Amino acid sequence: MNVKRFGIDAPLLPLVYLVGGVWLLIYGYLNRMNYSVVVEMVLGAMMVIGAGIALHTTMRGKYRLFDQLIQQLAIDPHAQVLDVGCGRGALLTRVAQQLVKPGKVTGIDLWRSRDQSNNGVKQAQRNLDDLNVADRTELVTGDMAELPFDDNQFDVVTTSFAFHNIKRFKRRNQAVEEAIRVLKPGGTIAIIDTGHCSMQYQDVFLANHVQITESKKLGINGWWSGPWMGSYLVRGVKQ
């Protein structure tokens, strides 16, 4: 159900792991008289298991993480929220369900299909309509490193599995700075992401007067194949 509505994140990742793993297992089996076969078989098995874990995270795990985050944030029902890199709305719709008008959550994205399968503004809008949250939501097409919003506009800024897609360090810094710029003083920013940028985000928080209130790893529900590709939460309050 989640997959049908919200798609698969980084769809190539589980595919590459699965195909590579199966290939190594077959190759290892065919060469079973060879010594190096143990390495190939172990690596192949790890890749197949990794594909399964990545699928678990994208189909179930990340939704558990979102539910935990929503509980922690305890968002005011009338809040103005921004979800950066909202994709097809997996987190955005959960936030919207906490709100009542004039509370609103705005989602911004470039809708890149290599980052989420069948990504698109139409697909996201259909989800908002189907889940009856269209009256509390708005979708904007734009780059998260150049947000088309005023300073101090939002009470809460959320983002999930989006910032790491910006590969250049400086540009990623800029995206975090932008998220902080549009946040009201006293407002909360929560970043869920994967990759190895947790310290970078915390450095940007500190340089931009955001007090870090939480920084933690998110465990197996955020593994994109294994612990080497885990997820984390960095949360802060703008001073």
Ligand X SMILES: C[S@@+](CC[C@H](N)C(=O)[O-])C[C@H]1O[C@@H](n2cnc3c(N)ncnc32)[C@H](O)[C@@H]1O
182: CB partners within 8 A, 6+ apart: 82, 147, 149, 150, 151, 152, 153, 154, 157
Strand partners, 108: 84, 140
Cβ at position 91, least distance to ligand X in Å: 5
Binding residues for ligand X, rule CB under 6 A, total 22
Q: Does position 85 bind ligand X by CB under 6 A?
A: yes
Stretch that binds ligand X, among 34-42, 44-52, 85-93, 179-187 (CB under 6 A): 85-93
The pair of three-digit structure tokens given for residue 36, joined into one six-digit string: 């190096």
> What letter would DSSP give residue 10?
S
38 or 130, CB closer to ligand X? Answer: 130
Instruction: Look at strands 104-109 and 137-141 and give their pairing.
Output: parallel
Chain-centroid distance, C-alpha 41: 32
Taking phi first (over 0 means left), then psi (-120 to 50 degrees means alpha), and beta for anything else, what does residue 100 get? beta
Q: Does position 87 bind ligand X by CB under 6 A?
A: yes
Q: Which helix (H) or strand (E) holds 187?
A: strand 183-194
Cβ at position 32, least distance to ligand X in Å: 39
Q: Does position 189 bind ligand X by CB under 6 A?
A: no
Q: Does position 139 bind ligand X by CB under 6 A?
A: no
Stretch that binds ligand X, among 36-44, 162-170, 181-189, 210-218 (CB under 6 A): 162-170
Cβ at position 58, least distance to ligand X in Å: 8
Give the closest residue to 112 by CA, choosing from 147, 87, 92. Answer: 87
- Subset of 93-122 contacting ligand X (CB under 6 A): 109-112, 115-116, 119
Q: Which of 5, 49, 126, 143 binds ligand X (CB under 6 A)?
A: 143
Q: Which of 9, 155, 178, 193 binds ligand X (CB under 6 A)?
A: 9
